[in-house]
A and B are shown apart, each in its own frame.
Chain A
Amino acid sequence: MTDAGLHTLTGAYALHALPGTERRDFERHLGDCEACSTEVREFSETATRLGLAVAAPAPRELRERVLREITTVRQEPPAVPRPERAADRRTGAARWSRFALAACLAGAVGLGGIAVWQHQEARDARQRADTTRHQADQVARVLAAPDAKTSSGTLEDGAQGTVVVSRSEDRAVFLATGLADAPSGKVYQLWFDDGGTMRSAGLMHASGPSSTTYTTLLDGPVDGATGMGVTVEPAGGSARPTSDPLALMKLPPA
């Protein structure tokens, strides 16, 4: 599309009315078009006025629920400049392991939750989202299931692992933060624990905001599994665990 054609999309973009691929194209254009950015900001503020006009009284219980919930939700720290790539490896684990599970969950589910005028961030998030979209959809279904239950534990080196199980979806998601890269030529493999028998649940892939953050949908149904484990396996994975688990966790009860 020509630049002039793209420019007319400012209105649709500011109202979140562009479908995914067109939004991404337009966001690329926004980076080079100052006039468009200004217009988008003005339109977004205009939309805010439209939003204020439909304000509705919120019930008292909502206030109580929200004010109660925030006491258990850890806040994101202020953004820090991205360290150099080499430094990222060293400091990444320490920096990201402070993030709460909530941040991790929101990263997996709330890919759309970025304010429009922060186009740079939106672009970064979109690129990440593209590579994980399909899995993210499935992950989101598990995390959003009404019967989703979690249990958490500590892996080696202080890495945090959390497993989320939805019995109605019959699927589980494993989230890890602060986990160092697997040794060269090795991978992390997930397992379901079927009463002492380990059933492969696929390999883990870094998928969060850093290389030490993992959000993985376990392959296959939860079925009767009572626990799950993580092991280090040769590249490609193994049919049976060949090393002691880094972690064994009980699945939350139904």
Chain B
Amino acid sequence: MEEAVYISGTASAGPDLQELMGQVALGDQEAFAQVYDRVSGPVLGLVRGVLRDPAQSEEVAQEVLVEVWRTASRFQAARGSAMNWVLTLAHRRAVDRVRSAQASAAREHKAALLDRTPAFDEVTEQVETRLEREQVRRCMRTLSELQRESVTLAYYRGLTYREVAELLAVPLGTIKTRLRDGLIRMRDCLGVSS
């Protein structure tokens, strides 16, 4: 597993993810195994952040990864990166799961939600992840506290912006704009372009 040493989030040794996705869409199971090795860690980490329950998270991660195989032909490179396609699928699935599970039950205790920071996994050995984590942390520090809390609760915890507003006792309109200007700042700090 040591061959996957990344210089940044986009460059990598071997065929790139986008190329591999094209092969997966043609039914190439070996290409899928390579895709799996690149995306399974981010998928599982992201899903676990939202769902928290380890067993359920693995189950959802498995569903997402199989979905990547099944619907690979839907991926269109012109519309975004392959990693974006996969993690969008993963996040949407995790969020759907947590919202349906909690639709009737009360949302988690406020203190428990507010208490948690993103589940940055400190033990990971992947150079790529370590670099990415440090960059994201550094950029997160450039956000105002409200921007950071809003983005964290919405993305890492899967809350709707209404739930974020309620939790932080801040008007809805404020949360909307904080999510947007927080993301603008993160986008510029991370150097993301479309």
Chain A residues in the interface with B (C-beta under 8 A): 8-12, 14-19, 38, 41-59, 62-63, 65-67, 69-71, 73-79, 102-103, 106, 110, 112-118, 121
Contact = CB atoms under 8 A, between A and B. Distances in A.
Interface string B41-55: 111111011000000
Contacts of A54: 42, 45-46, 49, 118-121, 133, 156
A11 B58 contact: no
Contacts of B74: 76, 79, 115, 118, 121
B107 interface: no
A11 B49 contact: no
Given A54-B156, A56-B41, A118-B74, A113 B92 contact: yes
Which interface residue of A54, A63, A67 has the most chain B CB atoms within 10 A?
A: A54
A67 B84 contact: no
Contact of A75 (B25, B48, B61, B187): B25
A53 B129 contact: yes
Contacts of A43: 180, 183, 187
Contacts of A50: 118, 136, 151, 155-156, 186
Contact of A53 (B66, B89, B132): B132
Contacts of A16: 91-92, 95, 154, 158
Nearest to A112: B96
Contacts of A74: 70
Nearest to A69: B66
28 contacts: A8-B173, A10-B183, A11-B179, A11-B181, A16-B158, A17-B164, A19-B160, A48-B81, A49-B186, A50-B136, A50-B186, A54-B49, A56-B48, A56-B124, A57-B123, A62-B58, A65-B62, A66-B65, A69-B62, A75-B27, A76-B71, A76-B73, A77-B73, A79-B74, A110-B93, A112-B93, A113-B89, A121-B74
Contact of B176 (A9, A38, A47, A48): A9
Which interface residue of A41, A53, A65, A118 has the most chain B CB atoms within 10 A?
A: A53
Size class of the contact patch on chain B: 35 or more
B67 interface: yes
A115 B77 CA distance: 12
A214 B74 CA distance: 23
Contact of B67 (A19, A44, A51, A113): A113
B129 A55 contact: yes
A56 B49 CA distance: 10
Contact of B80 (A19, A102, A115): A115
Interface in B82-109: 83-85, 87-93, 95-96
Name the 10 nearest CB pairs between A and B, nearest first: A11-B180, A11-B179, A56-B45, A53-B136, A55-B41, A17-B154, A58-B40, A112-B96, A54-B45, A55-B42
Contacts of B72: 75-76
B176 A70 contact: no
A11 B9 CA distance: 22
B126 interface: yes
Contact of A41 (B33, B79, B175): B79
A44 B73 contact: no
A57 B155 CA distance: 20
A234 B135 CA distance: 66
Contacts of A56: 41, 44-45, 48, 119, 121, 124
Contacts of B193: 42
B179 A48 contact: no
A77 B25 CA distance: 8
Given A9-B180, A53-B133, 7 more contacts: A11-B179, A49-B192, A50-B118, A54-B119, A58-B61, A103-B70, A113-B92
B87 A47 contact: yes
A17 to B, nearest CB: 4
